Amino acid sequence: MQYNPGWNGSSVNLLHVRAAGPEDSLHYVWSSIGAPAVLLVATQSPSSSLRVNWSQLLSPSPAGAIWIDPPDSVVYSTAVVFTKLFEFSEAKPLGELFYPTYDLSEFSWDSLNHTLNHTALTAELRGVPATDPGGGFANGSLAFQVTAYEAGGRAGRLPGLLHTADSSQLEFVLAGVAPRGNGSRFALEVATVEEAGAVRRLRSERSIDDEYTPTIFEVLSLLAESQNGSSTLGFLQWKATAYGSRSPRREDGIRCRAQGLRAANWTLPVSSVVQAYFGESLGSSCTVSALNVSFGGEEGQVYQEKRYLSWSVLLGFGQPPRDTFSPLVISITAVALGTPLAMLLLGSCLVLLARRRRYSEYEPIN
């Protein structure tokens, strides 16, 4: 993990996370220069490196300021941009009432270097609006907490997402922000950038297994696939829940919904790290898609009461991890289903033996 590689200042945030394999390497570039974003690049060289032209990156024309060396080692690249935070409430009978939008490209962000932990491979990007006329952020903040992984495993806190060494976890946290209405709900707009040859699609999977995330049976994945559908290039994956506590429990769950993937026919807000890497192709050959992830619903006023909201999402390359039943659950299921079957078979055998003994006492009649 490198903070602002090649730059001594801390007035801007750029975090480079590199995972090296025997024949390839993966790069995650997190930044709050403009709208908060992450650039994901997979290369077929174990020694590929990130290059940053800082004077160009911080200029009004950052195209070409970020690249991977050697350039021909890049096999796939994409970006995820967190653009806006919406706040709305149910205003019956008029429907949804939206308050002025929080544009994340206009936030002021703390130095990420203060929260960087090279041992735990974590960092936190925390910010507030540069101007806040309503005072909603007077005692609150919005944050993105990043966690990288060196091996496969499972997050210790709910929702307990399964991860691999090829993935990183992002936790979106809204803490202490005063809602502007009774029953306010929030929605985070997420945009993705794909180069020519790749498309995004939203997939929902349901399972009867809620062992690791109690009462939640749905997993959503935003997949980047080749246009012929032959392979999955990257993903965002999350459980259909958020939580309203710093130490989340089942009862702190908040409903989480993805409100449809759509082609973004608007221009991305200023996000220098994305413009710096994709350059002119961002407005021509690249495909920009967006969806809103909303939090809250009929289940109540969890955020109103605790003023806390956290949502975890996994980002990575290739196929997203798939949960399977643990050996404990398989054993319990086998016992639960096998015991009645064994008793039925044993009872049938005893009945047959008893009948044979009963009729064997008589001589056959000619």
User: Based on the domain organization, do 26 and 77 belong to the same domain?
Assistant: yes
**What gap in Å lies between CA 309 and CA 72, rounded to an integer?**
42
User: Based on the domain organization, do 355 and 286 belong to the same domain?
Assistant: no
User: Based on the domain organization, do 83 and 158 belong to the same domain?
Assistant: yes
Residue-range definition of the domain harbouring residue 243: 2-317
Phi and psi at residue 301, to the nearest 5° = -110, 50
Evaluate whether 169 touches 239 at the Cβ level (below 8 Å): no
User: Based on the domain organization, do 49 and 147 belong to the same domain?
Assistant: yes
User: Based on the domain organization, do 24 and 141 belong to the same domain?
Assistant: yes
pLDDT of residue 341: 79
CATH of the domain at 277: 2.70.98
User: Based on the domain organization, do 342 and 196 belong to the same domain?
Assistant: no
Which ranges in 18-171 belong to alpha helices (H)? 54-57
Evaluate whether 107 touches 129 at the Cβ level (below 8 Å): yes
**Within-domain flag for 205:** yes
**Within-domain flag for 328:** no
User: Based on the domain organization, do 268 and 355 belong to the same domain?
Assistant: no
**Within-domain flag for 323:** no
Please give the average pLDDT of every successive group of 10 residues along the chain, which has 366 residues.
Answer: 93 96 96 96 97 95 96 96 91 73 96 95 97 92 97 94 96 95 89 93 91 92 89 95 94 91 79 91 89 79 86 96 69 70 83 68 64
**Within-domain flag for 82:** yes
Neighbours of 36 (CB within 10 A): 26
**Within-domain flag for 42:** yes
pLDDT of residue 302: 73
pLDDT of residue 328: 57
**What gap in Å lies between CA 34 and CA 84, rounded to an integer?**
12
* Number of domains present in the structure of the chain: 2
3-state secondary structure of 350: helix
pLDDT of residue 332: 67
**What gap in Å lies between CA 50 and CA 167, rounded to an integer?**
18
**Within-domain flag for 326:** no
**Within-domain flag for 168:** yes
User: Based on the domain organization, do 196 and 284 belong to the same domain?
Assistant: yes
Phi and psi at residue 128, to the nearest 5° = -140, 160
**Within-domain flag for 238:** yes
